[in-house]
Structure 1
């Protein structure tokens, strides 16, 4: 029996650990090396149904042809169902990367709901995770950002977060799969492309190749700590909540790491968008507790205003 190439085995092993035991799963596949290697591995490993979705963002000439090619390959490889979804990116808030990401996840969620999939698998690798950590550090995003991309969140599963990008390319080559190279991945107009093409290679040169795995491992460690702190914060929020507001006396007795998480969670419950809610908003809310000198309401995303009234933080008109 021919020996399975190491890269193919690594991808399959990662997928085997991450997949649900049964049920229909969908692979989100752009045709790039990461998602193509993932799709091939899932098709080989999973005992249940395996479908594939490719999303055409319409941002590049010929993107519709590329999506059709991915779908044709998927049908020939016996994926079922196979969906091509075209999304509209323009007019969404945030930059083009954020808008495309939001549109893509909406489309994937809609297909999963329609076909009854138990999971949607994404091809993000260890290198993607390291890039995410660097971008978060550059933005001063704090623990939530440094935690990077979760291995699992709701329907979405990322089996390859411990697999190197180089291994997905090797896995494709070993199986005769020809990946598509997205020109956006090397376009310096995008921050992630600059990290990928310049910042991370410079760190590798200065600190050695282990820096990529170490950054990705840091994300996992911080995510574990975040989960514990968030659980404590959920209990703390319940203890502070009273008649639609939060009791200042209870909040002031909390350590900062818990209190700020309580405020962040409460702001989202009031309707503030999580993507628009920044550390500055939370710091302003915290100042109503820890640095109170009669200041006016704090303005949160979505036209929400919060003020300190008679010993409580409350939403005001």
Structure 2
């Protein structure tokens, strides 16, 4: 039984509301830090038969002991089970991105069809919005994280990080302090410790909440535009191609969403705003230009979108060497 103290009650209320809107079995991702310990305590109190999943990245000396301690905390907080998942972290895209991929792959493989709750807070949301603004990739990049993005649930997006730390104090638990979270070599760390505090000081407070509200409003708007784009995609599809005449008069915001969805379905990944706009020019600013190479092709090939005979088509173009290996 958790004590009825202010921070604990706030986190439990957030988790209770999320569970009411998303019925079904849940697991909880636990790192041993304050945010995930607070989440785990509330989920164990509000849900039944909860299993905690602890990922050991093996990136720091003593990581196995940290993971074992986190698992013990989970059991003491009322989780039915706690499992440590050991992963191997590569280097592609930098250590932070590689660790994230390894972590989510391991959680996905272990969840057995259940939703996995992760401990992103309102502060994390604000940092995500600022990172999206820096990329200049449009509303999608600053819409932040959704409370539900199957199979990932985020009940604490309305809870401040200071509250999760207070939960640990109320429970008498000392959370693990990941040294990566204070390493200024990571952009997100500098946002957390330098940029957001400065914005709060200059703008008079409330910046994190305002950024989170902006993200929520953008997600609501994007949901409507995405629905319209899905209808347009169905109307324009001709086999694997798209009929340009159906797309031409559509508003650019909907047309570009349609093109993104079409290319994603063909295997394109990590599309940049520049790539998307160049493909959109094949419809909205057609001057006889050549095809556009987009991200997502297998090694040794390019995925190229071109306009031919009134249709957009995407094709793999292999290098000479690769074409011999992939006849």
TM-score by length of 1: 0.93
CA distance in 1, matches of 2:279, 2:266: 13
Contact 2:41 2:74 in 1 (8 A): no
- Give the secondary-structure state (helix, strand or coil) at the position aligned to 2:120: coil
Is 1:169 aligned with 2:165? yes
Name stretches of at least 5 consecutive residues in structure 1 with no aligned partner: none
Contact 2:40 2:77 in 1 (8 A): no
CA distance in 2, matches of 1:61, 1:3: 34
Q: Which residue is 1:237 aligned to?
A: 233
249, 252, 258: which one aligns with 2:248: 252
Contact 2:44 2:79 in 1 (8 A): yes
Contact 2:55 2:106 in 1 (8 A): yes
Is 1:187 aligned with 2:183? yes
Deviation at 1:182, TM superposition (A): 1.0
CA distance in 2, matches of 1:60, 1:269: 38
CA distance in 1, matches of 2:151, 2:307: 38
Aligned ranges 1:33-72 → 2 under 5 Å: 33-46=34-47, 48-72=48-72
Aligned ranges 1:26-37 → 2 under 5 Å: 26-37=27-38
Q: Which residue is 1:95 aligned to?
A: 94
Q: For each residue in 1:177-227, what CA deviation from the matched residue of structure 2 results, as whole angstroms up to 9, or x when unmatched?
A: 211111111111111001001011100001122111110111111001111
Is 1:282 aligned with 2:284? no
CA, structure 1 residues 74+214, in 2 after alignment: closer, same or farther (shift >3 Å)?
A: same
Q: Which residue is 2:142 aligned to?
A: 146
- Give the secondary-structure state (helix, strand or coil) at the position aligned to 1:202: helix
CA, structure 1 residues 207+308, in 2 after alignment: closer, same or farther (shift >3 Å)?
A: same
Q: Which residue is 1:11 aligned to?
A: 11
CA distance in 1, matches of 2:173, 2:24: 26
Contact 2:45 2:78 in 1 (8 A): no
175, 196, 202: which one aligns with 1:200: 196
With 160-169 and 286-295 compared, the bigger mean Cα shift is at 286-295
- Give the secondary-structure state (helix, strand or coil) at the position aligned to 2:111: helix
CA distance in 1, matches of 2:90, 2:76: 33
Q: Which residue is 1:227 aligned to?
A: 223
Q: Which residue is 2:320 aligned to?
A: none
Deviation at 1:103, TM superposition (A): 1.2
CA distance in 2, matches of 1:58, 1:3: 34
Contact 1:24 1:51 in 2 (8 A): no
Aligned length: 309
Q: Which residue is 2:268 aligned to?
A: 272
Deviation at 1:61, TM superposition (A): 1.7
Deviation at 1:22, TM superposition (A): 5.8
Q: For each residue in 1:158-189, what CA deviation from the matched residue of structure 2 results, as whole angstroms up to 9, or x when unmatched?
A: 00000011011111101112111111111111
CA distance in 2, matches of 1:3, 1:266: 51
Q: Give the root-mean-square deviation of aligned CA atoms.
A: 1.6
